[in-house]
Amino acid sequence: MVFNSYTFVVFFAIMLILHNLSIAWKAKKVNLLLASYVFYAAWNPPFILLLWLSTVVDFFVGRSLYTQQNKHKRRMLLVISLIGNLGMLCFFKYGGFILENFVALTNAFGVNYHPAKPNIILPAGISFYTFTTLCYTVDMYQRKSEPVKSLLDFSLFVTFFPHLVAGPIVRPPQLVPQFESPRKATRQQLLDGLLLLSLGLFMKVVCADTLLSGASDLVFSAHRGLGPLDAWIGVLAFSGQIFFDFAGYSTSAIGVAMCLGFVLPQNFKYPYAAIGFSDFWRRWHITLSSWLRDYLYIPLGGNREGKFRTYINLMITMLVGGLWHGANWTFVAWGGLHGVYLWVEKALSDSRKKASGGIADETVPATVIATASLGPDLTAKKPAGFIAALLTFLLICVTWVFFRSATFTDAWQMLASMSGRIAPAGPPLLSTVTIIKVAVVITLMLAFHWLMRDTSVLKTVAKLPWWLTGTVWALLLIMIVLSQGTGKSFIYFQF
C-alpha cells in the first residue's frame, strides 16, 4: 500500500476513526499494530514473518543484553542480534550481488563456475526496519537507555506504518515513550498533519512523477551519447525527482503520524540549499546520516585517532552508506564520491584553520554530519552563500549520475555527454517544452530551498492568513487529483 493511492485514503480514514474512538489505549495500540501489518501485507503477506522474527528476537535479546552481567554472554547475544539482522538483510538484499561478484572473481581465476541465478524477492523497506531494530540492540548492549517493557510497544515501534517502509529511521527513545500513554491529535495537529500529508503527496505525485520523471527516465534509458543540454536536463530532472520522491514520502509519513498524535523526526531540511557537502548531509536523509554517525563512524574511532584514521573512517562510512542504498557498485561509487567531496572539504577547512593560526576541532565527528564549511559565515553573506550552495548542488548532481545509472558504462557515457566530450549519437532527445518545464521546476525548487533553508513549512504557514493557506492547500489537492493517474511507487521502497 502506498500513500499516493485511493486505497490508502480509505485505510487512513478508517484508522483516524478507530484511533479517535472512546476505547482503551491498549486496544488502540493493538489496532495500530494490526493496521501496520495490513499496510505492509499489501506488498507481500509472507514477508510479515520477517517482521515478526526481527521484532521478537531483538525484543528478547535486547532485554537480555541490558540485564546480563557476564561480559562474554553479552557479546554473544550482540553477535546473535547482528547475525540475525544483518544476515537477513544480506541474504535478501545482497544475496544476488554477492553471488554475482563471487562468480566474476572465480571466473577471473580461470574457474568456470556458473550457478543458477537466485530468485530472491526483496522485501519492501527491509533496510529501514533492519536499521531500526539493530540500533535498539546496540543501545541495549551499551546500556544507553532502559529496555522497552512491553512487547506490544516494541512491535508497534518497529512496524508503525507511517515510517515502516521508507523511514524516517526512528530510534526507541524517539517513539517508544509516545506509546506509553494515550495520545490523540489536537485540532491543530490534525490540520498540520493533513497539510503535511497533502504537501508530501504533491511533491511525489505532481512534482516527481508528473513533471520530472518523464525527462529523467527518457535520458537515463537512452544508453547512447547525448548532447550536453539533454544530458544536463536529464540529470537535473532526476536530482529534483529523487528529492521530491523521497522527501515527499518523509513529509507524508510525518503528517500521517501527526494526525494520529505522534511525532516522527525530521528527515529533510531543504538539502539543495546546503553550503558544502557536510551541510548537505545535515539536511539530506537526516535520520540515516545520524545513524551512520552514531553506529558506524564513531565506533570505528571517528576523528579521535588522528587525521589519517579520520579520513579512512569517513570514507568507510560513506561507502557503507552508498551500499545501503542498493546492491550495485554504482551505489558504492556514489557513496565514495561523496566521501571524496567530504575529504576535500575537510582538508580545505583544516588548512584554513592552520593558516589562520587556529586549531581544527578534533572533538566533533568529521563524518556525514561534520562541521566543516566552505567558508566563514557564508549563510549570512547571501550572494556568496547562494553561489556556494549552487556549486554544491551542481557537484551533487554529478553524484546522482552514479545513483541513477544501472552500470558504470551508462554513468561514464552520461558524464561524457554532460561535459560535451562525445558527439550525440542521434537527434536531440528532449523537446523544447520538456526542457523549459524541467528548467522552471528546478529553478523554483532551488529558490524555495534557499528561502526556506532556516525555517520550516509549518512555521511559515503559521504566519500566513488563513485564506491564503486555504487557497494554496486547495490548489495542491486539485493538482494531486488531476495528476493521480501518473503516480508511481516511491523510489526508496527498493532500499
Give the pLDDT band of residue 425 (cuts 50, 70, 90).
Answer: confident
| Grid cell of 2 as nine digits | 502506498
pLDDT at 269 over 90: yes
What is the spatial distance between Cα 368 and Cα 290, in angstroms, rounded to a whole number?
8
pLDDT at residue 377, as a whole number: 45
Where does residue 95 rank: exposed (0-12), middle (13-18), buried (19+ CB within 10 A)? middle
Range from 86-90, 343-347, 359-363, 414-418 that averages highest in pLDDT: 414-418
Please enumerate in sequence order all residues whose Cβ is within 8 A of that of 171, keeping only pairs 6 or more positions apart, or say none: 132, 135, 136, 139
Q: Which of 19, 163, 285, 325 is catalytic?
A: 325
Query: Each residue of 51-70: pLDDT tens digit?
Result: 898 899 899 999 999 988 88
- The residue extents of the domains of the chain are 21-180
| Residue 107: predicted pLDDT | 80
Active site residue 325: yes
Q: Could you tell me if 290 and 170 are in contact, meaning their C-beta atoms sit under 8 angstroms apart? A: no
Cβ pair 117, 96 in contact under 8 A = yes
pTM of the model: 0.89
